[in-house]
Amino acid sequence: MKKFLDPNHPFFAKAWVRWVSALVPVAWAFFEFVNGSTGWGMLSAALGAFAFWMLIVRGPDQPADGTGPDDPPQA
């Protein structure tokens, strides 16, 4: 079964992409709460929390050679 949000996908290889992907739903939740849409704000906040957990806290798997996804390739 495919994951809903896969931190090992090549799209999320760069740290800044993972951070932006996690923070945009949180910012949108703030926008929704300010405008009085509590339900949409809670939904966006939940998606942001899930994205933050999967992409930042848990993060991508470490390769067997000990280099991280943001490390430059070694020759």
- Could you say which DSSP state residue 63 is in? P
Give Cβ neighbours of residue 17 (< 8 Å, ≥ 6 apart): 11
Sorted by where each begins, the domain ranges of the chain are 34-59
18-72, pLDDT tens digit by residue? 999 999 999 999 999 999 999 999 999 999 999 999 999 998 887 666 565 566 6
Q: How far apart are CA 7 and CA 19, in angstroms?
A: 11
pTM of the model: 0.76
| CA pair distance 50, 59, nearest whole angstrom | 12
Residues 6+ apart with CB under 8 A from 26: 44, 45, 48, 49, 52
